[in-house]
């Protein structure tokens, strides 16, 4: 009998602020010379005091509102004391007893079913610096020293702590992707797992036969969406094996080893109780009064589910909505195409099928896409009006996406600029096709084209030669006339 | 009167009216240091050259008729736990022996902006942990009023300096009595302002929720003048209140205590304290009454019973956390090791003194799971109870009079080993710190042996100006302390108030 | 509730504080901790039912810091004097990565 799986997640998001949580150093640390984004505060120089970043409070509150949390009028910070080379003060300033936001929930959908994941709270804390362990001449032994870069030390994080409401690795992965989507919609965080701006720790246990909770194991070091699922699946099977053989699960922290595909026990020394938490008295409490919360609410951008509702009103399918709203920038692009006059359903199809195809081919995202929404709207309208065939429209989109060329020039270059092929010019093409295919013409004239395949073949050649700019009906009639049928 | 005997206010007035120059005033003080400090040992670092240069700059401004500030040309000293840009700041510890900060504490900037002239940095117990200024890398400071005795601590160097006429003003820090008790021991005026009144930026921390920049002087008026420079909002310290401060110098023009309700602390057995100091308490009460105040006995049952224990738990825990940053990597002493932990342990064990190491280990223990629930956690609530008790009493009183210290300055080298008696030394100062209240140790003259007597005046939080007003009235009745001539006969107070 | 430490806990506390105690000093440190624990157990005696944890109240809370980056002009001077700074990094004895 399968043991019910209980998963709770702690997701750390690096906040999109310009400066660190407690000092005016830049947060733009990626690619920077080590130890240049530092100052006396983040290097824990004696006598310095933390100064809370206003934007960090605003962003954490915004995320809290997005997650339907209660934003607290009064919250405080604490110190989590432990020595480590990447932690200059030897304590991390974090919120633990009175966090900035509590409660809330996030809806996820797995296998067509909607599930509500409740949240425990959301809090602010500072990031640690980075350690570098150089190797000597590529040998395995490495150098006799480690290096510390404090550029990341003090960068603001918000930690979203869920209740243990997830019951499969797929749900956990979906929860993280909804959370990331929300963070991106709200401009709270870029949510990149690869660069570490989104980090996930999981608490997982298998329930006992009587339904009571099993022993909790914490999994860290999952650095991609794929690894969240893999690590949790591995851990479930590991715990099942231990329990099946009559063993006991040890409460511990385990690190996911992505290369080996296993979780490994961290030596059991760093349990929460060893950290020594207590209140941070170097900082005034965070007071967010109701009018400020109201102000945060007023400035909330549209949330993903609000956008989905609005898109549903355009008559889009569930799948289209899901694809178009996944990324706020893509959704915005689509909306701009619609506002520029393209019919919503057609525009949805173009963005979903053609724009995403081109982006994929070019390996870029929508923010780097050359085709302005207005141009795409024009193109869609031309195709709708049959001024351009579907095929030619797609070709023009390809050109526009790759070259610095206006829509008008691209259309002109495609040969469709003179307008549609009709009358004499169409007749000319038909005559050319007829004279180039005497065998086929003869077969038709002999009445051997019973199924109409041959005439269709000729029609196809005409259309191809016309680059799609002929009306198929006129072409068919003209061809029949030319063959004296 | 000699220049070194003048108050800060008198010095600034003399400099501004060109009766004498800032350089004259500075040299007069430097001469005192030169004459006595080899014996008193109150200074860790002397910045004579910088001081002369600063004094000349002040004189230059005055000759040009430029604005100079309320402390123009006033020499002062700062405890060596105030960061001073370009001037080493040791905290009296081997771990910071050679450390030169790249910035000034806000208090130092405010003093400099007011025209004051920094003469140097004063001795303290290592990391301000102690109450005798014996526990220092440069050795003990002596009490200028009796060279066989301690000056108190941890701001003993600053208190001794003011008493010995090194400067009319000095800055100290008060965590649990570290300015009030040495002020009492050295016979000068010392005030711990309300918590949140003065920026802590640039003060090397002992305990974040208790440390306050605290001035020492020989007149209450000087304390008011310097408070006007020090007490202001600071964008570098969010625990420093942003409210608009009252004018402290206006408050001290209070003529009498008519209408004031003064509580006199009687919640102890007189056997617990020195009889002469008890006499000072009674005398202060009489002076209040004579000045028109309503005087009533009062008690602080929670504060007195639980104050010291609550203070120790709070301060030790915080010290263990605030002193964890000394890891040998970014500043201060560094001793290598084969592993990260070995480097930490080597550096910290060899560079912190024994008392500091002891307190760090104690504090670590108090924050550890299990101990926290039985000590730190309850202490946080007891502290709130104490605040409530104070609030309730301030509905009945405008100020209280308490002893500053239960004992007169004791002999050097007489290390208190009985912990219960050791704790008693702080019994009247720590509750005031825990409550964030303003407290002034007021000189009550000298006893027959020339040892300083004192009382402590305590006001409601943020009523620092009102408290200075009451202190000023009493000081007029008692007389302001005179400069001591350390080791020379004839050291005395100005007589009037000798108990 | 009054608590006490034994030699082992004393050593554990020293380790957590990154301090070494000479073997012959462990007893003294243990006694010192126990003295404080004995004296400070008082804080558990007062009935504080319903009392919130202490936190400073302020008349006027300072504004939060604006999110505007600033440089630190003395950075290079500071780093040149830092005891464990080399090249671009702070350098420490090799840390064995766990796992």
Q: Please give the sequence-ordered ranges of beta strands (E in DSSP) within B112-249, or none if there are none.
A: 117-122, 169-174, 189-192, 212-217
Full strand arrangement of the beta sheet holding B439-446:
B43-46, B117-122, B75-79, B169-174, B212-217, B189-192, B439-446, B452-459, B399-402, B261-265, B294-298
CB-closest option in B235, B330, B364 to A43:
B330
Same domain assignment for residues B193 and B287: yes
| Cα→Cα distances C6→B366, C27, C34, Å | 15, 9, 9
- Beta-carbon count within 10 A of A425 CB: 15
Strands A198-206 and A5-14: antiparallel
Q: How far apart are CA B261 and CA B285, in angstroms?
A: 11
Q: For residue range B424-436, what is the model confidence (pLDDT) as tens digits?
A: 889 999 999 999 9
Cβ pairs bridging A and C (under 8 Å): 106
Q: Give residue B59's domain range.
A: 3-302+385-478
Same domain assignment for residues B307 and B416: no
- Residue B443 falls in the annotated catalytic set: no
> Cα distance from B48 to chain A (closest Cα, Å)?
24
Same domain assignment for residues B76 and B106: yes
* The pair of three-digit structure tokens given for residue B409, joined into one six-digit string: 């300055």
Q: How far apart are CA A84 and CA A63, in angstroms?
A: 30
Same domain assignment for residues A215 and A238: yes
Same domain assignment for residues B353 and B411: no
Full strand arrangement of the beta sheet holding C85-86:
A130-132, A145-149, C89-93, C85-86
Would B111 be classed as within a structural domain?
A: yes
Q: Which of A22, A23, A45, A46 to mutate to test the interface with B (most CBs of B within 10 A)?
A: A46
Phi and psi torsions of B114, nearest 5°: -80, 0
Same domain assignment for residues A42 and A183: yes
Tracing tokens 């304590």 back to the chain, one arrives at: A91
Same domain assignment for residues B262 and B340: no
Same domain assignment for residues B273 and B349: no
A53 shares contact with chain C (CB less than 8 Å): yes
Same domain assignment for residues B363 and B410: no
Q: Do B362 and C16 touch (CB under 8 A)?
A: no
Q: Do B102 and C77 touch (CB under 8 A)?
A: yes
Q: How far apart are CA A122 and CA A159, in angstroms?
A: 6
Burial of A471 (0-12, 13-18, 19+ CB in 10 A): middle
Would A389 be classed as within a structural domain?
A: yes
pLDDT for the residue A392: 86
Q: How far apart are CA B215 and CA B149, in angstroms?
A: 22
Tracing tokens 């997640």 back to the chain, one arrives at: A9
Q: Give residue A469's domain range.
A: 423-482
Per-residue pLDDT band for B492 (boundaries 50, 70, 90) equals very low
> Which chain B residue's Cα is nearest to A82?
B324
Cβ pairs bridging B and C (under 8 Å): 179
CB-closest option in A47, A89, A278 to B201:
A47
Q: Which of B327, B351, B384 is the last residue of a domain?
A: B384
What is the DSSP-derived secondary structure letter of residue C7? H
Taking CB atoms and an 8 Å cutoff, what residues of chain A touch B376? 278
> In chain A, positions 253-292, which contact chain B (CB-CB < 8 Å)?
273-274, 276-284
Q: Which of A239, A272, A292 is the last residue of a domain?
A: A292
Strands B261-265 and B399-402: parallel
Same domain assignment for residues B334 and B361: yes
- Beta-carbon count within 10 A of A212 CB: 7
What is the DSSP-derived secondary structure letter of residue B325? G
Nearest alpha carbon to residue B33 among B51, B20, B21: B51
Would A297 be classed as within a structural domain?
A: no
What is the DSSP-derived secondary structure letter of residue A194? T
CB-closest option in C41, C53, C94 to B380:
C53
CB-closest option in C64, C66, C90 to A148:
C90
Distance from the first to the final alpha carbon of chain A: 75
CB-closest option in A50, A88, A282 to B325:
A88
A39 shares contact with chain C (CB less than 8 Å): yes
Which one of B114, B154, B320, B351 is the catalytic residue? B154
Contact B443, B481 (CB under 8 A): yes
Q: Which of B378, B418, B419, B438 to mutate to test the interface with C (most CBs of C within 10 A)?
A: B378
> Which chain B residue's Cα is nearest to A88?
B325
Taking CB atoms and an 8 Å cutoff, what residues of chain B touch C36? 312, 316, 362, 419
Tracing tokens 């979203």 back to the chain, one arrives at: A160
Q: Give the count of domains, chain A.
A: 3
Same domain assignment for residues A343 and A205: no
DSSP codes of every residue in A444-461: HHTT--TTSHHHHHHHHH
Q: Do A283 and B209 touch (CB under 8 A)?
A: no
∠A172-A176-A178 over CA atoms, to 5°?
115
Residue A137, SS3 per DSSP: coil
Would B170 be classed as within a structural domain?
A: yes
> Cα distance from B430 to chain C (closest Cα, Å)?
14
Nearest alpha carbon to residue A316 among A329, A328, A307, A304: A307
- Beta-carbon count within 10 A of B147 CB: 17
CATH number for position B255: 3.90.1300.10
Q: Which of A148, A218, A275, A295 to mutate to test the interface with C (most CBs of C within 10 A)?
A: A148
Same domain assignment for residues A462 and A371: no
Residue ranges covered by each domain of chain C = 7-44
Taking CB atoms and an 8 Å cutoff, what residues of chain A touch B101? 45-47
Which one of B35, B54, B79, B142 is the catalytic residue? B79
* The pair of three-digit structure tokens given for residue A176, joined into one six-digit string: 């993280």
Burial of A242 (0-12, 13-18, 19+ CB in 10 A): middle
DSSP codes of every residue in B40-68: H--EEEE-HHHHHHHHHHHHHHHHTT---
Same domain assignment for residues A359 and A280: no
Would B497 be classed as within a structural domain?
A: no
Same domain assignment for residues B469 and B328: no
Residues of chain A with pLDDT under 70: 1, 136-142, 267-274, 415-420, 468
* The pair of three-digit structure tokens given for residue B189, joined into one six-digit string: 């005026």
Q: How far apart are CA A332 and CA A339, in angstroms?
A: 10
Q: How far apart are CA A302 and CA B367, in angstroms?
A: 45
Q: Please give the sequence-ordered ranges of beta strands (E in DSSP) within B97-167, or none if there are none.
A: 117-122
CB-closest option in A273, A282, A283 to B369:
A273
Q: How far apart are CA A278 and CA B15, in angstroms?
A: 50
- The model carries a pTM of 0.91
Taking CB atoms and an 8 Å cutoff, what residues of chain A touch B91? 46
Would B171 be classed as within a structural domain?
A: yes
Please name the chains neighbouring C, where neighbouring means 3+ C-beta pairs under 8 angstroms. A, B
Residue B253, SS3 per DSSP: coil
A256's enclosing H/E stretch is: strand A252-257
> In chain B, positions 81-110, which contact chain A (CB-CB < 8 Å)?
83, 89, 91, 96, 99, 101-103, 105
- Percentage of chain B beyond pLDDT 70 is 96
| Cα→Cα distances B408→B8, B404, B425, Å | 27, 10, 10
- Residue B79 falls in the annotated catalytic set: yes
Would B495 be classed as within a structural domain?
A: no
Residue B173, SS3 per DSSP: strand
Which one of B92, B155, B161, B178 is the catalytic residue? B178
Would B483 be classed as within a structural domain?
A: no
> Cα distance from A171 to chain C (closest Cα, Å)?
27
- Residue B199 falls in the annotated catalytic set: no
Taking CB atoms and an 8 Å cutoff, what residues of chain A touch B102? 40, 45
Which residues are paired to A157 by β-bridges?
Answer: A14, A125
Q: For residue range B175-231, what is the model confidence (pLDDT) as tens digits?
A: 999 999 999 999 999 999 999 999 999 999 999 999 999 999 999 999 999 999 999
Taking CB atoms and an 8 Å cutoff, what residues of chain A touch B327? 83, 85, 90
Taking CB atoms and an 8 Å cutoff, what residues of chain B touch A46? 83, 89, 91, 96, 99, 101, 204-205, 325, 331
Q: Do C68 and A24 touch (CB under 8 A)?
A: yes
Nearest alpha carbon to residue B371 among A166, A401, C38: C38
Please tell me the number of Cα atoms within 13 Å of B478 on its side-chain side: 35
Contact A288, A95 (CB under 8 A): no
CB-closest option in A51, A81, A284 to B367:
A81
CB-closest option in B103, B324, B330 to A91:
B324
pLDDT for the residue B60: 97
Q: Do A47 and B202 touch (CB under 8 A)?
A: yes
Q: Say whether the peptide bond before residue A66 is cis (omega within 30 degrees of 0).
A: no
Q: How far apart are CA A9 and CA A219, in angstroms?
A: 10
> Cα distance from C91 to chain A (closest Cα, Å)?
5
* The pair of three-digit structure tokens given for residue A448, joined into one six-digit string: 């051997």
Q: Do C56 and A26 touch (CB under 8 A)?
A: no
Q: Give the count of domains, chain B.
A: 2
Same domain assignment for residues A43 and A164: yes
∠B325-A160-A225 over CA atoms, to 5°?
105
The average confidence (pLDDT) of chain B is 95
- Beta-carbon count within 10 A of A445 CB: 12
**Which ipTM was obtained for this model?**
0.96
Please tell me the number of Cα atoms within 13 Å of B180 on its side-chain side: 34
Please tell me the number of Cα atoms within 13 Å of B57 on its side-chain side: 15
Contact A151, A38 (CB under 8 A): yes
Same domain assignment for residues B260 and B341: no
Same domain assignment for residues A408 and A273: no
Same domain assignment for residues B177 and B64: yes
Burial of B244 (0-12, 13-18, 19+ CB in 10 A): exposed
Burial B452-469 (b: 16+ CB within 10 A, else e): bbbbbbbbbbbbbbbbbb
């Amino acid at each position: 009998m399968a043991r019910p799986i209980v998963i709770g997640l702690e997701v750390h998001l690096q906040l999109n602020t310009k400066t660190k949580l407690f000092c005016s150093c830049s947060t733009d640390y990626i690619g920077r010379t080590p130890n240049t984004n530092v100052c006396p505060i983040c290097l824990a120089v004696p006598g310095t005091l933390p100064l809370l970043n206003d934007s960090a409070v605003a962003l954490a509150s915004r995320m809290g509102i997005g997650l339907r949390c209660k934003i607290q009028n009064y919250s405080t910070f604490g110190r989590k004391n432990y020595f480590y080379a990447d932690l200059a003060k030897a304590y991390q300033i974090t919120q633990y007893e009175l966090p900035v936001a509590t409660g809330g929930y996030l809806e996820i959908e797995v296998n067509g079913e909607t599930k509500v994941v409740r949240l425990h709270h959301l809090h602010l804390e500072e990031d640690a610096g980075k350690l570098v362990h150089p190797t000597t001449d590529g040998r395995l032994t490495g150098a006799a020293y480690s290096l510390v870069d404090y550029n990341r030390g003090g960068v603001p994080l918000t930690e979203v702590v869920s209740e243990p409401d997830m019951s499969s690795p797929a749900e956990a992965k979906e929860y993280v992707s909804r959370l990331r989507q929300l963070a991106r919609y709200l401009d709270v965080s870029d949510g990149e797992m690869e660069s570490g701006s989104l980090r996930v720790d999981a608490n997982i246990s298998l329930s006992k036969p009587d339904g009571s909770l099993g022993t909790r194991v914490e999994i860290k070091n999952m650095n991609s969406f794929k690894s969240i699922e893999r690590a949790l699946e591995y851990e479930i099977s590991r715990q099942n094996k231990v329990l099946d053989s009559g063993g006991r699960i040890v409460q511990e922290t385990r690190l996911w080893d992505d290369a080996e595909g296993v979780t490994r026990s961290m030596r059991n020394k760093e349990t929460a109780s060893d950290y020594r938490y207590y209140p941070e008295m170097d900082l005034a409490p965070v007071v967010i009064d109701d009018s400020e919360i109201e102000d945060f609410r007023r400035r909330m951008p549209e949330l993903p589910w609000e956008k989905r509702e609005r898109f549903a009103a355009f008559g889009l399918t569930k799948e289209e909505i899901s694809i178009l709203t996944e990324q706020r920038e893509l959704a915005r692009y689509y909306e701009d195409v619609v506002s520029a006059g393209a019919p919503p359903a057609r525009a949805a199809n173009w963005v979903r099928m053609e724009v995403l195809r081109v982006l994929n081919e070019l390996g870029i995202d929508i923010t780097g896409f050359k085709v302005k929404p207005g141009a795409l709207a024009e193109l869609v309208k031309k195709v709708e009006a049959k001024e351009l065939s579907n095929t030619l429209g797609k070709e023009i989109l390809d050109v526009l996406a790759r070259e610095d060329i206006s829509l008008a020039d691209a259309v002109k270059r495609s040969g469709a600029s003179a307008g549609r092929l009709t009358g004499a010019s169409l007749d000319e093409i038909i005559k050319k096709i007829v004279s180039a295919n005497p065998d086929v013409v003869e077969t038709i004239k002999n009445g051997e084209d019973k199924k109409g395949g041959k005439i269709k073949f000729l029609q196809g050649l005409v259309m191809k030669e016309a680059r799609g700019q002929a009306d198929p009906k006129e072409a068919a009639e003209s061809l029949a006339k030319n063959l004296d049928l | 009167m000699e220049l070194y005997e003048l108050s800060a206010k008198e010095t600034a007035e003399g400099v501004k009216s060109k009766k004498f120059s800032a350089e004259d005033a500075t040299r007069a003080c430097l001469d005192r240091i030169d004459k006595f400090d080899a014996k008193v040992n109150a200074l860790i670092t002397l910045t004579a050259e910088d001081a002369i240069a600063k004094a000349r700059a002040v004189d230059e401004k005055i000759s040009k008729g430029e604005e100079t500030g309320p402390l123009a040309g006033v020499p002062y000293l700062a405890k060596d736990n105030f960061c001073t840009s370009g001037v080493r700041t040791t905290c009296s510890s081997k771990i910071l022996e050679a450390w030169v900060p790249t910035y000034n504490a806000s208090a130092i900037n405010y003093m400099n902006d007011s025209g004051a002239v920094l003469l140097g940095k004063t001795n303290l117990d290592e990391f301000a942990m102690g109450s005798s200024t014996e526990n220092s890398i440069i050795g003990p400071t002596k009490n200028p009023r009796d060279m066989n005795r301690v000056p108190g601590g941890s701001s003993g160097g600053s208190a001794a300096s003011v008493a010995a006429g090194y400067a009319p003003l000095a800055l100290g820090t008060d965590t649990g009595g570290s300015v009030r008790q040495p002020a009492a021991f050295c016979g000068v005026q010392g005030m711990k302002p309300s918590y949140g009144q003065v920026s802590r930026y640039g003060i090397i921390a002992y305990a974040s929720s208790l440390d306050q920049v605290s001035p020492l002087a020989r007149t209450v008026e000087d304390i008011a003048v310097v408070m006007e420079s020090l007490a202001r909002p600071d964008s570098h310290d969010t625990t420093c209140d942003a409210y608009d401060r009252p004018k402290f110098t206006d408050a001290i023009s209070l003529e009498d205590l008519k209408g004031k309700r003064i509580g006199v602390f009687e919640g102890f057995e007189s056997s617990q304290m020195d009889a002469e100091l008890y006499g000072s308490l009674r005398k202060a009460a009489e002076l209040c009454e004579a000045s028109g105040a309503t005087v009533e006995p009062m008690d602080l049952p929670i504060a007195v019973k639980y104050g010291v224990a609550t203070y120790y738990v709070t301060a030790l825990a915080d010290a263990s956390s605030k002193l964890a940053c000394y890891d040998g990597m970014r500043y201060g002493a560094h001793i290598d090791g084969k592993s990260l932990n070995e480097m930490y342990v080597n550096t910290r064990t060899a560079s912190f003194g024994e008392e500091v190491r002891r307190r760090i280990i104690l504090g670590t223990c108090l924050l550890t799971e299990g101990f926290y629930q039985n000590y730190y956690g309850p202490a946080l609530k007891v502290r709130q109870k104490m605040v409530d008790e104070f609030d309730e009493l301030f509905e009945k009183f405008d100020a209280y009079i308490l002893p500053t210290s239960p004992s007169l300055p004791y002999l050097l080298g007489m290390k208190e080993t009985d912990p219960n008696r050791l704790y008693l030394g702080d019994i009247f100062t720590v509750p005031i710190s825990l409550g964030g209240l303003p407290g002034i140790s007021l000189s009550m003259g000298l006893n027959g042996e020339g040892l300083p007597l004192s009382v402590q005046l305590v006001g409601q939080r943020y009523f620092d100006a009102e408290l200075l007003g009451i202190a000023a009235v009493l000081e007029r009745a008692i007389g302001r302390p005179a400069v001591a001539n350390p080791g020379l006969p004839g050291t005395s107070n100005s007589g009037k108030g000798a108990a | 509730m009054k608590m006490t430490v034994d030699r082992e806990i004393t050593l554990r506390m020293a380790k957590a504080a990154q301090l070494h105690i000479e073997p012959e000093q462990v007893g003294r440190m243990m006694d010192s901790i126990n003295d404080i624990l004995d004296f400070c157990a008082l804080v558990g005696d007062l009935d504080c039912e319903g009392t919130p944890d202490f936190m400073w109240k302020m008349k006027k809370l300072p504004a939060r810091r604006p999110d505007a980056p600033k440089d630190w002009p003395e950075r290079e001077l500071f780093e040149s004097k830092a005891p464990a700074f080399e090249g671009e990094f702070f350098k420490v004895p090799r840390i064995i990565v766990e796992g």
